[in-house]
Structure 1
Amino acid sequence: MRLVASRRLVGMMLCCLSMAAYAAPNAQQLLEASDAIRNPVKPFSLTTTLIEFHQGRETDRNLLTVYSQSDPVGGQYRSLVHFDAPARDLDKLLLKNGSDLWFYDPSSQASVRISPQQRLLGQAANGDVVTVNWAHDYAPSLAAEEDIDDGDRQRRHCYKLNLVARSNEATYHSIDLWLDSLTKRPVKARFYAESGTLLKVSYFRRFQEELGAERPTEIVIIDGLDPGWVTVMRYSNYAWRAIPDAWMQHDYLSHFEPN
């Protein structure tokens, strides 16, 4: 009898250990791990190239330099975006500081508050080109584990997260985000308006070593209503960068000079 009871106890322990091993992962931790892959923790700069296509044909292109640093108080990123090209947009600026987003036009020397939801080029919104900490802006929940095709049509086993905006200041009302179950890399995302309308679908591609981690250097954005419209965001020239605090102040925009 004692032997049978002992075997039952061992069996129950193994069952508990097995259940613990397969316990659902924490959605917040998954999102934070994904954010760490997308975003360097120390102040940095990079070049963002935005290319718009319609039915496979290029229709427009922007070249931007992005300067970003984490806000030690709120945990969100502060970003300054300088427009390098085309000539019609040269020296325009986009500043995100906290929940405020400002656009500066040197021709009028005026800065105006803008919405992160407004489109900058093609399917890329203002809120897409600044550095964003999704774990700060969205409340995540684990929706499923499933196999999907990535941006290179390779099959990936992923965790699917549902993200819901914590405030109206977030760029999107909600996001479906797929993360590679092994690496926690972002694979695919679907972005929704408050009405539930699908705004766009994004694929994260071309991961390579940048500033200490394997990061996506290309995001393909497909219009949610007309998939013939595609915008490609390419990241290059990553560099650690000392960023003066004055650059992140609204009142300094008219004095900014890139160096």
Structure 2
Amino acid sequence: MRYARSLARGLVGIVVGCLSVAAIATPNAQQLLEASDAIRNPTQPFSLTTTLIEFHDGRQTDEDVLTVYSKISADGGQYRSLVRFDSPARDVDKLLLKNGTDLWFYDPSSQASVRISPQQRLLGQAANGDVVTVNWAHDYAPSLAGEEEITDGDRQLEHCYKLTLIARSPEATYHSIDLWLDSATKRPVKARFYAESGTLLKASYFRRFQQELGTVRPTEIVIIDGLDPGWVTVMRYSNYAWRDIPDSWMQHDYLARFKPN
């Protein structure tokens, strides 16, 4: 009897130990997504230059240059962003503002601002919601879909965690996202973006990682159209800087008076 009790305790200990190891070995999807967000986005107010370059069948067809000012909202959730158009000449000083779930476009020539959708295309495969700073962990509910070996934007094989992200509200730019993160560094490697119908809208590859504002971040995203892969948009980030961004800049009624300092 004593031997049986000892054997039972031993078996229970083995089972508990195995469950503990499994719990440790299985990463938490929300924590993975938050770690990836921290790599993509600085946590303090900052500015950067975003250059959008559109290609069709390998030939450049268009280019926009934007200055983006971003800071986390007072409730600590999503970012507020103000985007100024620097080129081409026809678009200079136009503004794009994201405050909460509201997205506004301001044209200084008419001095009018209008509500717009984050899903609308800005240039090529880049939507309005792509150029403002976004915490995916705030807008999407993640689940761990497994681990995969995938080819990254530099055609290197990477071992990745695959996350499936489902929009928490209709205001999100995409209904769902498949996101692959490097299993060692949690850096974003690849993403696929879907409409509510399940249609693949585009695929993105995160590239050119370098030290910016305290950590290694992707400074280029290659976006490939989901229906016609001949259309490609490259988003390049440069001129990262910590910035003092007044709250007034993030107000809709201030757009007509905005002057960068």
Please give the TM-score of this superposition, normalised by the length of structure 2: 0.95
What displacement does 1:135 show?
A: 0.5
- Amino acid in the other structure paired with 1:37: I
Q: Which runs of 4+ in 1 moved over 4 A?
A: 1-4, 6-14
- Amino acid in the other structure paired with 1:204: F
Q: 1:108 to 1:27 in 2, by over 3 A?
A: same
Give the distance between the partners of 2:12 and 2:99, measured in 1 at CA.
Answer: 57
| Residue in 2 that maps onto 1:147 | 149
Give the distance between the partners of 1:10 and 1:258, measured in 2 at CA.
Answer: 64
- The 5-angstrom pairing of residues 15-94 of structure 1 reads 15-22=18-25, 24-73=26-75, 75-94=77-96
Out of 116, 128, 135, the position equivalent to 1:133 is 135
| Residue in 2 that maps onto 1:258 | 260
Out of 102, 113, 118, the position equivalent to 1:111 is 113
Calculate percent identity across the aligned residue pairs.
79
1:72-130 Cα distance to aligned partner (Å, 9 max, x none): 21510000000000101000000000000000001100000000000000000000000
Give the distance between the partners of 1:177 and 1:248, measured in 2 at CA.
Answer: 29
Q: CA RMSD in A?
A: 1.5
What displacement does 1:16 show?
A: 3.8
Aligned length: 258
- Amino acid in the other structure paired with 1:249: Q
Out of 190, 193, 196, the position equivalent to 2:192 is 190
Give the distance between the partners of 1:7 and 1:112, measured in 2 at CA.
Answer: 69
Classify the secondary structure of the residue corresponding to 1:183: coil
What displacement does 1:246 show?
A: 0.7
Please give the TM-score of this superposition, normalised by the length of structure 1: 0.95
Classify the secondary structure of the residue corresponding to 1:35: helix
Give the distance between the partners of 1:162 and 1:53, measured in 2 at CA.
Answer: 29
Classify the secondary structure of the residue corresponding to 1:20: helix
For structure 2, the 5+ residue unaligned runs are none
Give the distance between the partners of 1:17 and 1:138, measured in 2 at CA.
Answer: 28
For structure 1, the 5+ residue unaligned runs are none
What displacement does 1:258 show?
A: 2.2
What displacement does 1:17 show?
A: 4.2
